[in-house]
Structure 1
Protein backbone atom coordinates (compact mmCIF):
# COMPACT_ATOMS: atom_id res chain seq x y z
CA UNK A 1 0.00 0.00 0.00
CA UNK A 2 1.29 3.46 -0.94
CA UNK A 3 1.59 6.32 1.52
CA UNK A 4 0.23 8.82 -1.02
CA UNK A 5 -1.72 8.59 -4.24
CA UNK A 6 -2.40 11.64 -6.39
CA UNK A 7 -5.27 10.90 -8.76
CA UNK A 8 -6.62 13.42 -11.20
CA UNK A 9 -8.89 13.96 -14.17
CA UNK A 10 -7.78 16.73 -16.51
CA UNK A 11 -9.28 17.76 -19.83
CA UNK A 12 -7.22 20.85 -20.59
CA UNK A 13 -4.04 20.18 -18.61
CA UNK A 14 -4.93 22.54 -15.75
CA UNK A 15 -5.66 19.87 -13.15
CA UNK A 16 -2.72 17.77 -14.36
CA UNK A 17 -0.41 20.74 -13.68
CA UNK A 18 -1.72 21.08 -10.11
CA UNK A 19 -1.54 17.29 -9.63
CA UNK A 20 2.14 17.29 -10.63
CA UNK A 21 2.82 20.13 -8.20
CA UNK A 22 1.10 18.27 -5.36
CA UNK A 23 2.93 15.05 -6.20
CA UNK A 24 6.31 16.83 -6.19
CA UNK A 25 5.66 18.16 -2.67
CA UNK A 26 4.83 14.81 -1.08
CA UNK A 27 7.66 13.20 0.90
CA UNK A 28 9.26 9.83 0.30
CA UNK A 29 9.03 7.34 -2.52
CA UNK A 30 5.82 5.54 -1.51
CA UNK A 31 3.65 7.62 -3.81
CA UNK A 32 2.18 7.62 -7.30
CA UNK A 33 0.58 10.06 -9.75
CA UNK A 34 -2.20 8.61 -11.92
CA UNK A 35 -4.80 9.94 -14.35
CA UNK A 36 -8.06 8.48 -12.99
CA UNK A 37 -9.33 7.87 -16.53
CA UNK A 38 -6.42 5.60 -17.43
CA UNK A 39 -6.68 1.84 -17.71
CA UNK A 40 -3.76 1.55 -15.31
CA UNK A 41 -4.71 -0.26 -12.08
CA UNK A 42 -5.19 2.15 -9.21
CA UNK A 43 -3.23 1.03 -6.15
CA UNK A 44 -4.44 1.44 -2.60
CA UNK A 45 -3.00 4.24 -0.46
CA UNK A 46 -3.24 5.71 3.01
CA UNK A 47 -3.74 9.27 1.73
CA UNK A 48 -5.50 10.26 -1.49
CA UNK A 49 -5.20 13.62 -3.21
CA UNK A 50 -8.03 13.57 -5.75
CA UNK A 51 -8.14 16.19 -8.50
CA UNK A 52 -10.88 17.12 -10.92
CA UNK A 53 -11.89 19.65 -13.51
CA UNK A 54 -15.09 21.46 -12.65
CA UNK A 55 -18.19 21.26 -14.82
CA UNK A 56 -21.37 22.92 -13.63
CA UNK A 57 -20.03 23.34 -10.11
CA UNK A 58 -18.89 19.79 -9.43
CA UNK A 59 -16.68 16.90 -10.56
CA UNK A 60 -17.36 14.17 -13.12
CA UNK A 61 -19.16 10.92 -12.29
CA UNK A 62 -15.88 9.01 -12.67
CA UNK A 63 -14.35 11.11 -9.89
CA UNK A 64 -17.45 11.08 -7.63
CA UNK A 65 -17.78 7.30 -8.02
CA UNK A 66 -14.13 6.80 -7.07
CA UNK A 67 -14.45 9.09 -4.05
CA UNK A 68 -17.65 7.38 -2.95
CA UNK A 69 -16.00 3.93 -3.07
CA UNK A 70 -13.21 4.87 -0.64
CA UNK A 71 -13.47 3.66 2.93
CA UNK A 72 -11.24 4.32 5.93
CA UNK A 73 -8.92 6.64 3.98
CA UNK A 74 -7.57 10.15 4.30
CA UNK A 75 -8.75 12.30 1.43
CA UNK A 76 -7.78 15.74 0.14
CA UNK A 77 -9.43 17.27 -2.90
CA UNK A 78 -8.13 19.68 -5.53
CA UNK A 79 -9.65 21.11 -8.66
CA UNK A 80 -9.49 23.70 -11.40
CA UNK A 81 -12.36 25.64 -12.90
CA UNK A 82 -12.66 28.20 -15.63
CA UNK A 83 -15.56 30.18 -14.26
CA UNK A 84 -15.40 32.41 -11.27
CA UNK A 85 -12.29 33.29 -9.36
CA UNK A 86 -14.25 33.66 -6.12
CA UNK A 87 -13.80 32.00 -2.71
CA UNK A 88 -17.58 31.55 -2.30
CA UNK A 89 -17.81 29.69 -5.58
CA UNK A 90 -14.81 27.54 -4.70
CA UNK A 91 -16.40 26.68 -1.34
CA UNK A 92 -19.62 25.64 -3.11
CA UNK A 93 -17.59 23.37 -5.42
CA UNK A 94 -15.76 21.88 -2.42
CA UNK A 95 -19.08 21.21 -0.67
CA UNK A 96 -20.53 19.57 -3.78
CA UNK A 97 -17.57 17.24 -4.31
CA UNK A 98 -16.80 16.46 -0.66
CA UNK A 99 -20.41 15.30 -0.24
CA UNK A 100 -19.29 12.09 -2.00
CA UNK A 101 -16.84 11.27 0.81
CA UNK A 102 -18.23 8.61 3.13
CA UNK A 103 -18.16 9.42 6.85
CA UNK A 104 -15.65 6.68 7.72
CA UNK A 105 -12.97 8.61 5.80
CA UNK A 106 -10.93 11.53 7.15
CA UNK A 107 -11.51 14.61 4.98
CA UNK A 108 -8.39 16.81 4.86
CA UNK A 109 -9.67 19.81 2.89
CA UNK A 110 -9.60 21.14 -0.66
CA UNK A 111 -7.66 23.42 -2.96
CA UNK A 112 -9.39 24.94 -5.98
CA UNK A 113 -8.03 27.47 -8.43
CA UNK A 114 -8.92 28.98 -11.76
CA UNK A 115 -7.86 27.31 -14.99
CA UNK A 116 -7.85 28.28 -18.64
CA UNK A 117 -10.67 27.14 -20.88
CA UNK A 118 -10.63 26.06 -24.54
CA UNK A 119 -10.96 28.91 -27.06
CA UNK A 120 -14.27 27.44 -28.27
CA UNK A 121 -15.82 28.50 -24.95
CA UNK A 122 -15.01 32.16 -25.63
CA UNK A 123 -16.35 31.81 -29.17
CA UNK A 124 -19.57 30.38 -27.73
CA UNK A 125 -19.96 33.38 -25.38
CA UNK A 126 -19.39 35.82 -28.24
CA UNK A 127 -21.91 34.05 -30.49
CA UNK A 128 -24.53 33.90 -27.70
CA UNK A 129 -24.27 37.62 -26.91
CA UNK A 130 -27.39 39.67 -27.67
CA UNK A 131 -29.14 42.78 -26.33
CA UNK A 132 -30.84 40.90 -23.50
CA UNK A 133 -27.75 39.13 -22.12
CA UNK A 134 -24.92 41.49 -23.16
CA UNK A 135 -23.91 42.28 -19.57
CA UNK A 136 -23.74 38.65 -18.55
CA UNK A 137 -21.89 37.56 -21.71
CA UNK A 138 -19.40 40.42 -21.31
CA UNK A 139 -18.76 39.20 -17.75
CA UNK A 140 -18.22 35.63 -19.03
CA UNK A 141 -15.86 36.87 -21.75
CA UNK A 142 -13.90 38.96 -19.23
CA UNK A 143 -13.63 35.92 -16.92
CA UNK A 144 -12.45 33.79 -19.85
CA UNK A 145 -9.75 36.35 -20.70
CA UNK A 146 -8.59 36.52 -17.07
CA UNK A 147 -8.48 32.70 -16.79
CA UNK A 148 -6.26 32.25 -19.84
CA UNK A 149 -3.03 32.41 -17.79
CA UNK A 150 -4.20 30.01 -15.06
CA UNK A 151 -3.13 28.00 -13.28
CA UNK A 152 -0.31 30.51 -12.92
CA UNK A 153 2.75 30.60 -10.65
CA UNK A 154 0.69 31.98 -7.75
CA UNK A 155 -1.82 29.12 -8.10
CA UNK A 156 1.09 26.66 -8.06
CA UNK A 157 2.48 28.29 -4.90
CA UNK A 158 -0.95 28.09 -3.25
CA UNK A 159 -1.13 24.38 -4.16
CA UNK A 160 2.24 23.86 -2.45
CA UNK A 161 0.95 25.62 0.69
CA UNK A 162 -2.13 23.38 0.59
CA UNK A 163 0.07 20.27 0.56
CA UNK A 164 2.08 21.58 3.52
CA UNK A 165 -1.15 22.21 5.48
CA UNK A 166 -2.40 18.70 4.72
CA UNK A 167 0.92 17.16 5.77
CA UNK A 168 0.82 19.11 9.05
CA UNK A 169 -2.75 17.91 9.62
CA UNK A 170 -1.60 14.33 9.06
CA UNK A 171 1.14 14.85 11.64
CA UNK A 172 -1.42 16.14 14.13
CA UNK A 173 -0.26 19.75 13.96
CA UNK A 174 -2.83 22.57 13.84
Structure 2
Protein backbone atom coordinates (compact mmCIF):
# COMPACT_ATOMS: atom_id res chain seq x y z
CA UNK A 1 0.00 0.00 0.00
CA UNK A 2 1.39 3.39 -0.93
CA UNK A 3 1.25 6.40 1.31
CA UNK A 4 -1.15 9.21 0.60
CA UNK A 5 1.83 11.41 -0.22
CA UNK A 6 3.16 9.01 -2.83
CA UNK A 7 -0.20 8.10 -4.29
CA UNK A 8 -1.38 11.65 -4.80
CA UNK A 9 2.07 13.28 -5.05
CA UNK A 10 0.94 15.92 -2.56
CA UNK A 11 3.31 18.54 -1.23
CA UNK A 12 2.65 19.59 2.36
CA UNK A 13 3.64 23.01 3.65
CA UNK A 14 3.89 23.80 7.36
CA UNK A 15 3.99 27.58 7.74
CA UNK A 16 3.75 29.39 11.03
CA UNK A 17 4.02 32.72 12.81
CA UNK A 18 5.47 32.44 16.31
CA UNK A 19 5.99 35.28 18.75
CA UNK A 20 7.34 33.48 21.82
CA UNK A 21 8.35 30.09 20.37
CA UNK A 22 5.15 28.27 21.33
CA UNK A 23 3.73 28.00 17.82
CA UNK A 24 7.16 27.09 16.47
CA UNK A 25 7.22 24.09 18.85
CA UNK A 26 3.83 22.99 17.53
CA UNK A 27 4.97 23.54 13.93
CA UNK A 28 7.97 21.25 14.43
CA UNK A 29 5.77 18.53 15.98
CA UNK A 30 3.31 18.85 13.10
CA UNK A 31 6.08 18.73 10.50
CA UNK A 32 7.49 15.60 12.15
CA UNK A 33 4.05 13.95 11.99
CA UNK A 34 3.42 14.75 8.31
CA UNK A 35 3.90 11.48 6.38
CA UNK A 36 6.37 11.13 3.55
CA UNK A 37 9.25 13.26 2.34
CA UNK A 38 7.33 15.74 0.18
CA UNK A 39 7.04 18.42 2.85
CA UNK A 40 8.53 21.71 3.96
CA UNK A 41 8.44 23.91 7.06
CA UNK A 42 9.11 27.64 7.29
CA UNK A 43 8.25 30.63 9.46
CA UNK A 44 5.65 32.90 7.88
CA UNK A 45 7.57 36.15 7.55
CA UNK A 46 5.46 38.10 5.08
CA UNK A 47 6.96 36.69 1.92
CA UNK A 48 4.64 35.10 -0.61
CA UNK A 49 7.18 33.04 -2.55
CA UNK A 50 6.95 29.84 -0.53
CA UNK A 51 7.22 26.69 -2.62
CA UNK A 52 3.63 25.90 -3.44
CA UNK A 53 1.94 23.02 -1.71
CA UNK A 54 -1.30 21.08 -1.92
CA UNK A 55 -1.87 20.78 1.83
CA UNK A 56 -1.13 23.65 4.19
CA UNK A 57 -0.82 23.54 7.95
CA UNK A 58 -0.88 27.22 8.95
CA UNK A 59 0.21 28.09 12.50
CA UNK A 60 -0.53 31.22 14.50
CA UNK A 61 -0.31 32.74 17.95
CA UNK A 62 -3.54 34.21 19.23
CA UNK A 63 -3.92 37.97 19.21
CA UNK A 64 -7.18 39.21 20.79
CA UNK A 65 -9.14 36.14 19.72
CA UNK A 66 -7.69 35.86 16.21
CA UNK A 67 -4.38 35.51 14.37
CA UNK A 68 -1.95 38.21 13.30
CA UNK A 69 -2.78 40.21 10.16
CA UNK A 70 0.12 38.51 8.39
CA UNK A 71 -1.40 35.06 8.91
CA UNK A 72 -4.89 36.22 7.99
CA UNK A 73 -3.63 37.88 4.79
CA UNK A 74 -1.71 34.75 3.80
CA UNK A 75 -4.75 32.53 4.43
CA UNK A 76 -6.80 34.82 2.20
CA UNK A 77 -4.25 34.47 -0.61
CA UNK A 78 -4.47 30.67 -0.85
CA UNK A 79 -6.69 29.21 -3.54
CA UNK A 80 -7.66 25.62 -4.27
CA UNK A 81 -5.71 24.18 -1.35
CA UNK A 82 -6.37 21.88 1.58
CA UNK A 83 -5.85 23.97 4.74
CA UNK A 84 -5.53 23.00 8.40
CA UNK A 85 -4.92 25.48 11.19
CA UNK A 86 -2.91 25.16 14.37
CA UNK A 87 -2.16 27.66 17.06
CA UNK A 88 -1.38 28.60 20.61
CA UNK A 89 -3.34 30.76 23.00
CA UNK A 90 -2.19 32.11 26.34
CA UNK A 91 -5.63 32.69 27.77
CA UNK A 92 -7.39 29.70 29.20
CA UNK A 93 -7.35 26.06 28.45
CA UNK A 94 -10.93 26.39 27.22
CA UNK A 95 -12.26 24.41 24.24
CA UNK A 96 -15.18 26.83 23.72
CA UNK A 97 -12.77 29.78 23.51
CA UNK A 98 -10.52 27.81 21.15
CA UNK A 99 -13.56 27.11 18.92
CA UNK A 100 -14.30 30.87 18.76
CA UNK A 101 -10.69 31.56 17.80
CA UNK A 102 -10.90 28.93 15.06
CA UNK A 103 -14.12 30.46 13.72
CA UNK A 104 -12.60 33.97 13.77
CA UNK A 105 -9.66 32.79 11.67
CA UNK A 106 -11.48 30.34 9.41
CA UNK A 107 -13.54 33.13 7.82
CA UNK A 108 -10.36 34.33 6.09
CA UNK A 109 -10.03 31.06 4.16
CA UNK A 110 -11.51 31.45 0.67
CA UNK A 111 -14.39 29.13 -0.29
CA UNK A 112 -12.44 27.37 -3.07
CA UNK A 113 -10.15 25.82 -0.42
CA UNK A 114 -10.95 22.69 1.58
CA UNK A 115 -10.85 23.36 5.31
CA UNK A 116 -9.42 20.42 7.29
CA UNK A 117 -9.89 21.59 10.89
CA UNK A 118 -7.78 23.14 13.64
CA UNK A 119 -5.68 22.24 16.64
CA UNK A 120 -5.25 24.89 19.34
CA UNK A 121 -3.55 24.56 22.71
CA UNK A 122 -2.41 26.81 25.51
CA UNK A 123 0.99 28.51 25.28
CA UNK A 124 3.12 30.53 27.65
CA UNK A 125 2.94 34.32 27.50
CA UNK A 126 5.68 36.93 27.90
CA UNK A 127 6.37 37.96 31.52
CA UNK A 128 5.29 41.49 30.57
CA UNK A 129 1.70 40.17 30.43
CA UNK A 130 1.90 39.04 34.07
CA UNK A 131 3.35 42.42 35.05
CA UNK A 132 0.47 44.13 33.23
CA UNK A 133 -2.06 42.01 35.13
CA UNK A 134 -0.42 42.94 38.45
CA UNK A 135 -0.49 46.64 37.58
CA UNK A 136 -4.23 46.43 36.84
CA UNK A 137 -5.10 44.93 40.24
CA UNK A 138 -7.51 46.93 42.40
CA UNK A 139 -9.61 45.95 45.44
CA UNK A 140 -12.63 45.74 43.12
CA UNK A 141 -11.09 43.35 40.57
CA UNK A 142 -8.79 41.26 42.80
CA UNK A 143 -10.72 38.02 42.18
CA UNK A 144 -10.64 38.45 38.40
CA UNK A 145 -6.97 39.48 38.30
CA UNK A 146 -6.00 36.57 40.56
CA UNK A 147 -7.75 34.21 38.12
CA UNK A 148 -5.83 35.78 35.23
CA UNK A 149 -2.56 35.37 37.16
CA UNK A 150 -3.35 31.70 37.86
CA UNK A 151 -4.03 31.19 34.15
CA UNK A 152 -0.76 32.94 33.30
CA UNK A 153 1.16 30.67 35.66
CA UNK A 154 -0.48 27.53 34.22
CA UNK A 155 0.26 28.71 30.68
CA UNK A 156 3.98 28.82 31.53
CA UNK A 157 3.98 25.01 31.29
CA UNK A 158 2.63 24.95 27.72
CA UNK A 159 2.89 23.75 25.09
CA UNK A 160 3.82 20.58 26.95
CA UNK A 161 4.42 17.01 25.79
CA UNK A 162 0.69 16.29 25.82
CA UNK A 163 0.02 19.36 23.64
CA UNK A 164 2.69 18.27 21.14
CA UNK A 165 1.29 14.73 21.03
CA UNK A 166 -2.16 16.23 20.44
CA UNK A 167 -0.78 18.17 17.48
CA UNK A 168 0.71 14.99 16.01
CA UNK A 169 -2.60 13.15 16.49
CA UNK A 170 -4.35 16.03 14.70
CA UNK A 171 -2.02 15.58 11.70
CA UNK A 172 -2.70 11.84 11.62
CA UNK A 173 -6.45 12.49 11.65
CA UNK A 174 -6.16 15.05 8.83
CA UNK A 175 -4.29 12.58 6.62
CA UNK A 176 -6.67 9.72 7.52
CA UNK A 177 -9.61 11.92 6.52
CA UNK A 178 -7.91 12.85 3.22
CA UNK A 179 -7.21 9.17 2.50
CA UNK A 180 -10.86 8.23 3.23
CA UNK A 181 -12.06 11.01 0.95
CA UNK A 182 -9.74 9.89 -1.86
CA UNK A 183 -10.85 6.24 -1.51
CA UNK A 184 -14.46 7.34 -2.06
CA UNK A 185 -13.49 8.69 -5.49
CA UNK A 186 -11.57 5.61 -6.68
Match of 2:116 in 1: 108
Aligned to 1:120: 128
State the Cα deviation string for residues 89-115 of structure 1 (Å, max 9, x = none): 000000000110111100000000000
Deviation at 1:55, TM superposition (A): 0.8
Q: CA deviation at 1:38?
A: 6.1
Structure 1 residue runs of 4+, over 2 Å off? Answer: 38-41
Which structure 1 residue ranges, 5 or more long, are not aligned? none
**1:160 match:** 168
In the alignment of these two chains, the number of paired residues is 173
- TM-score, scaled relative to structure 1: 0.96
1:136 to partner: Cα distance: 1.2
Which of residues 53, 71, 74 in structure 2 aligns to 1:66?
A: 74
Q: CA separation in 1, counterparts of 2:20 and 2:68?
A: 14
**Is the CA contact 2:46–2:70 (under 8 Å) kept in the aligned structure 1?**
no
1:9 to 17, 35, 54: 17
Find out whether 1:28 has 2:36 as its counterpart: yes
Given the two structures, how large is their TM-score scaled by the length of structure 2? 0.90
| Structure 2 counterpart of 1:149, from 130, 151, 157 | 157
- 1:98 corresponds to 2:106: yes
**In the superposition, relative to structure 1, how do residues 86 and 10 fare at CA in structure 2: closer, same or farther (>3 Å)?**
same
Cα 1:40–1:75, aligned 2, differ >3 Å: closer, same or farther?
A: closer
List per-residue Cα deviations over 1:131-159 (Å, max 9, x = no partner).
Answer: 12111111110000000010001101111
> RMSD of the alignment, in Å?
1.4
- The question of whether the paired residues in 2 share the 8 Å contact of 1:6 and 1:49 is answered with yes
Task: Note the 1:31-70 alignment, pairs <5 A.
Answer: 31-37=39-45, 41-70=49-78
